[in-house]
């Protein structure tokens, strides 16, 4: 197997993207699958031309088909039928799913990181570590699709009112949810509207005759 790798790397200067290594580890790709994937991603319009592939990466037809079947099976590559102007059709290998996989994993990591930051913000405001139950409650808000910005604002309001409890924060979030608030901008706009309505009501309730 080492001879295969040596001949492959020596025979052609393939470009190996950093994220391919991440994909290979996560999906436990075999050496042959990795080599075939690298081959496809280095072609302008990759096709399943066994002869060309074999001469480039030194794999047998059986090894190529086995690796190809596995890559298709895990939805890492796909076949697209392209129709030329002269009416001829060709099957092009698409590696777009490799990018989608990496993007999806990065999005999950980003979401996980944001969630971790949210817990840290709560612990900082509370001045202590969160209990397992508190972790579960906050996590449940996120699972319900609650905007993290909204949760942070509710925490900030609870802190200003010296009521650092998840029960109090939950009531704030419920109130905002009923009012249709989905972001910090909605909260500010809603409070401004309430303030203007209150000022207007005070103006009309004022007895002007008694102060003449």
* CATH number for the domain that contains residue 153: 1.10.10.630
Q: Within a domain: residue 212? A: no
Query: If we measure between CA atoms, which residue out of 202, 153, 199 comes closest to residue 179?
Result: 153
Q: Within a domain: residue 31? A: yes
Cα(174)–Cα(88) distance, rounded to whole angstroms?
Answer: 61
Asked which of 94, 128, 149 is the last residue of a domain, the reply is 94
Tokens matching residue 11: 């025979």
Q: Are residues 134 and 57 in the same domain?
A: no
Asked which of 76, 94, 112 is the last residue of a domain, the reply is 94
For 45-100, write each residue's pLDDT tens digit. Answer: 888 889 999 988 889 999 999 999 999 998 888 888 877 677 777 788 888 888 77
For 5-26, write each residue's pLDDT tens digit. Answer: 566 555 556 777 777 888 888 8
Q: Are residues 103 and 200 in the same domain?
A: yes
* CATH number for the domain that contains residue 76: 1.10.10.10
Q: Are residues 197 and 109 in the same domain?
A: yes
Q: Are residues 126 and 151 in the same domain?
A: yes
Q: What DSSP assignment string belongs to 156-191?
A: HHHHHTT---HHHHHHHHHHHHHTT--SHHHHHHHH
Q: Within a domain: residue 116? A: yes
Asked which of 73, 94, 115 is the last residue of a domain, the reply is 94
123-130 long-range contacts, CB within 8 A, separation 24+: 125/155, 125/156, 125/159, 125/164, 126/164
pLDDT of 50 reads: 92
Cα(150)–Cα(198) distance, rounded to whole angstroms?
Answer: 24
Where does the pLDDT of residue 203 fall: very low under 50, low under 70, confident under 90, or very high at 90 and above?
very low
Q: Are residues 59 and 87 in the same domain?
A: yes
Cα(51)–Cα(83) distance, rounded to whole angstroms?
Answer: 23
Q: Are residues 44 and 59 in the same domain?
A: yes
Number of domains in the chain: 2
Per the listing, tokens 């103006």 go with 203
For the segment 36-51, the average pLDDT, to the nearest whole number, is 89
Q: Are residues 118 and 61 in the same domain?
A: no
For 106-126, write each residue's pLDDT tens digit. Answer: 555 555 555 568 888 888 888
Q: Are residues 196 and 117 in the same domain?
A: yes
Dihedral Cα 98, 102, 105, 111, nearest 10 deg: -140
Q: Are residues 48 and 124 in the same domain?
A: no
Q: Within a domain: residue 41? A: yes
For 129-157, write each residue's pLDDT tens digit. Answer: 888 888 888 888 888 888 888 888 888 88
Domain that holds residue 43: 2-94
Q: Are residues 104 and 199 in the same domain?
A: yes
Q: Are residues 116 and 186 in the same domain?
A: yes
Q: Within a domain: residue 197? A: yes
Q: Within a domain: residue 75? A: yes
How many helices (H) and strands (E) the chain has is answered by 10, 2
Q: Are residues 129 and 42 in the same domain?
A: no
């Amino acid at each position: 197997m080492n001879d295969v790798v040596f001949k492959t790397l020596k025979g052609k200067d393939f470009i190996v993207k950093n994220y391919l290594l991440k994909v290979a580890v996560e999906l436990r790709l075999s050496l042959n699958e990795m080599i075939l994937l690298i081959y496809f991603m280095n072609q302008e319009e990759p096709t399943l031309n066994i002869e060309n592939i074999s001469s480039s990466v030194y794999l047998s037809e059986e090894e190529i088909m086995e690796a190809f079947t596995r890559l298709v099976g895990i939805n890492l590559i796909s076949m697209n039928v392209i129709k030329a102007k002269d009416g001829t059709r060709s099957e092009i290998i698409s590696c777009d799913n490799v990018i989608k996989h990496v993007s999806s994993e990065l999005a999950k990591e980003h979401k996980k990181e944001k969630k971790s930051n949210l817990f840290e913000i709560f612990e900082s405001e509370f001045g202590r570590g969160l209990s397992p139950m508190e972790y579960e409650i906050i996590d449940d808000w996120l699972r319900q699709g609650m905007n993290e910005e909204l949760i942070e604002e509710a925490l900030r309001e609870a802190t200003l009112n010296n009521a650092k409890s998840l029960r109090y924060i939950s009531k704030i979030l419920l109130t905002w949810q009923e009012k249709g608030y989905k972001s910090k901008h909605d909260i500010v706009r809603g409070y401004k509207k309430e303030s203007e309505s209150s000022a207007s009501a005070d103006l009309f309730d004022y007895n002007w005759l008694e102060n003449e």
